[in-house]
A = this chain, B = another copy of it.
């Protein structure tokens, strides 16, 4: 069995943002030398999501609007977590609703995706550097 670990780093300049990280994950798969296996893509921070969906600008703005309306950032006093002095209580909720992480199949040395599947990093509390772990096992 082979394994491979890679950490990706992101710094989103806004509070909320979405990045298509498929090229970085595909590069980690290529580096791993794994032909058949599984690839976990997991944010190492708990106010971010990793998810699989379409790379279409209207959809990304739908996500931002929908989750902001359902889980509003303000008034920040709404969230008891913010009594710690942070203001990201909403981001901890949004991250759960959107999706914590994904596991991707590797077949014949490549991400085994349908035609529209793309891996995204979703930032819910940006303006600082954050990491995503890619862990691959297989043979």
A residues sitting closer than 8 Å to B (CB atoms) are 1, 3, 5, 36-38, 40, 42-46, 51-54, 56-59, 61-63, 66, 70-71, 79-84, 89, 92-93, 95-105, 107, 112-117, 131, 133, 135, 137-139
Contacts and interface: CB of A to CB of B under 8 A. Distances in A.
10 contacts: A40-B103, A43-B114, A46-B114, A51-B96, A54-B81, A59-B81, A59-B92, A62-B93, A96-B98, A105-B133
How many monomers of this protein are in the complex? 3
A81 B65 CA distance: 12
A130 to B, nearest CB: 9
Q: Which 6 A-B pairs have the closest CB atoms?
A: A44-B114, A58-B80, A105-B135, A3-B36, A59-B81, A58-B81
B93 A112 contact: no
A112 B59 CA distance: 32
A62 B135 contact: no
Contacts of A62: 79-81, 89, 92-93
A52 B89 CA distance: 15
